[in-house]
Amino acid sequence: MKKLIYLIVFTTLIFFGCTAPETGTEVLSDFSGKLSDSEIAGGKLTPEILWKFGRLSGGELSPDGKNVVYSVSRYDAKTLKRTSNIFIVPVEGGEPLKLTEDRFSDVAPTWTPNGNQIAFMSDRYDDYQVWVMNIDGSERQPYSDIEGGVNFFKISPDGKNMLYGKDVKLEQTLLDKYPDMPKANVMKMDDLMYRHWNDWTDYKFSHIFISPVKDGKVKDGQDIMEGEKWDAPLAPYFDDGEINWSPDGKTIAYTCKKLYGREYAVSTNSDIYLYNIETKESKNISEDNLGYDKYPVYSPDGNKIAWMSMKTPGYESDKERLVVIDLKTGEKEIINNLWDQNAHSYNWSDDGKAIYFISGIHATYQLYKVDIETKTFSQLTKGHHNYSSFSRVGDVIVGSKMKHSMATELFVVDANTGAEKQLTFTNKNIYDHIKMGKSVERWVKTTDGKDMLVWVIYPPNFDETKKYPALLYCQGGPQSAVSHFFSYRWNFQMMVANDYIVVAPNRRGLPSFGEEWNAQISTDYYGQNIKDYLSAIDELKTESYIDENRLGCVGASYGGYSTFFLAGNHEKRFKAFLSHCGMYNLESFAAATEETFFPNHDLGGMYWDKNNEVAQKAYANSPHKFVQNWDTPIMIVTGGKDFRIPYTESLQAFNAAQLRGIPSRLLYFPEETHFVTQPQNAIIWQREFFEWFDTYLK
């Protein structure tokens, strides 16, 4: 079931793998999200309140366009338990109807093809199975009986079949080989990709199965990838958006990276395959492209498919090209080839002449529409916010929207005018009592004369006559926009609630400002983008309300690299640093990370290639090369199960700081990964974060 958990983690930014602590007696969990009297009196966001937020995901319109189904997950930080419930709300607005109960994890709701029922996944038994219920929540009953459960599912448009995902063991362990050694604990590797993201190999692969629906039930079906040692959807996210039915229910378009071991580790070459359920044959329709090809979506008549394509091999953050293929002629066209923006999350118009999608523009994510023939692009929504997904029926769009001061909620959008109306108010009980800080867009000149967007987020009760400490926020990715996200980890509102001003620059190497701006960081981790950070903080620190003698610097992943690098190159600007899961020694990072295509592209190659001047310069600017300059207190955070940037990077940095006599602290979470996601761990993370900066900046 770990692949299901990953899918939920990366699509909703929450973690479902929590269990209750052993207390000897059962403690009743509270999933109400209700604030205590003291929290109401405090009037500001705290780590504890952050874990009372209801976390909304989904948002699918019914076939008749009248209702929306979605799910909300809630935690109880005291018991570490979690529940997820399904709701339905009329498009016209009104009080949502809760369809399930606070005892299970009921997730991934979708409408059955006729719109008369809602299908969903539930762990009501020992594993996740598909269930169905009426739209008022009545007559809940099992829909699938699949051995071992399912990771995801999609019912065919004609209702005759269901595809689902399931893990299949295809490789032998040493315990299988030596059954007389049942207490041994050992793994053997003969190739790469023996671990990925958060886990060592489990000798299993995510496969797609198809099963007929008989008498309203689904039994074990046919593995369309039988014997194949690769995943669909792709690891490590296992996003079921990479798989879709054709309108006639006869074909499946799916994404797969049919490579193994070392070849898999050094390549991003995934492809789009069409599987015919009658002939049982697969066809690769994107083999001419050697980069990523993902997220295929059929046109309403089934004659065309749109998908997201990246042309550069090994470059995971290349431009998201909208490709359309005519299945009858085989002709392909890049719709946004001359339009300098990304395009993802595709939805065809009813007549098949246009495609709705999401694109980033100036660190916001908006809904767009493009006429396929004329290549005319229309921006439907505007404002300081992010749309992360949407569903459309006719002229009605329902989208998931967030911003710095608001966790994800559903909004109704007019497909013609872009007019928006909020549909859900999941966390109104919190916003009614907690004052949020204001985010302001600021444009700063860089050292090479460019204009850079910087978000400045102010404390809720900001007083311009006072002086505040400020935190420079260094974004990870490295190519992930500092947009209007609402994070349950790096939460800007949490920082400003503690009376810090946040300076969050969209430095070089971030999307939504054109392909050139985004690509500049590759092989130049140490160059212009570092100067961009300093341009942002140098301009903002001149404001009368910022105390230039109380500046901190924080970041995770590539942002962690940035803090390590700046610690040795900041020229006394900062009084304290915090690096979370950062790259410290680029040579050890490149040799230990799992997706080798990443250092190959971003650093220009591997460190042992002495004839590669670009790579040698990148490794020469590894943060550990400047540790002799460290002179500022630094806190370092890492997780024992982070295999993207192994925790040993943080240990090296902490040991160096200690040996050099630098005030330093190591926060190590043995069971956490590249993120701190379990409730009590996350609360401690936040408490330590502010204790550290309060010590040195206040």
Q: Which residues are catalytic?
A: 557, 642, 674
List Cβ neighbours of 87 (8 Å cut-off, separation of 6 or more): 69, 70, 71, 72, 96, 97, 98, 99, 424
- One-letter amino acid identity for 225? M
How far is Cα 42 from Cα 33, in angstroms, rounded to an integer? 16
Q: Any bridge partners for residue 635, and if so which? A: 578, 665
Measured CA distances, 19 to 23, 425, 636 (Å): 12, 28, 27
Measured CA distances, 476 to 78, 179, 419, 645 (Å): 30, 45, 33, 12
> And the tokens for 198?
């958060």
How far is Cα 687 from Cα 333, in angstroms, rounded to an integer? 51
Q: Tell me how crowded residue 342 is: count the other CB atoms within 10 A of its CB.
A: 26
Q: How far apart are the first and last CA of the chain?
A: 46
Locate tokens 């010590």: which residue? Answer: 695
How far is Cα 5 from Cα 241, in angstroms, rounded to an integer? 15
- Eight-state DSSP code of residue 105: B
Identify which of 5, 122, 113 has the alpha carbon closest to the alpha carbon of residue 60: 113
CA angle 74, 76, 82 (to 5 degrees): 50
List Cβ neighbours of 411 (8 Å cut-off, separation of 6 or more): 398, 399, 401, 420, 421, 422, 423
How far is Cα 612 from Cα 606, in angstroms, rounded to an integer? 9
Query: Is-cis flag, bond preceding 505, omega within 30?
Result: no
Q: Any bridge partners for residue 244, and if so which? A: 253
Handedness of CA 312, 556, 587, 624 (dihedral sign): positive
List Cβ neighbours of 234 (8 Å cut-off, separation of 6 or more): 242, 255, 256, 257, 270, 294
Helix, strand or coil for residue 163?
strand
Q: Please report the DSSP string for 490-512 in residue order.
A: S-HHHHHHTT-EEEEE--TT-SS
> And the tokens for 438?
């204001």
Q: Are strands 281-284 and 243-245 parallel, antiparallel or unpaired?
A: unpaired
Identify which of 111, 25, 56 has the alpha carbon closest to the alpha carbon of residue 486: 56
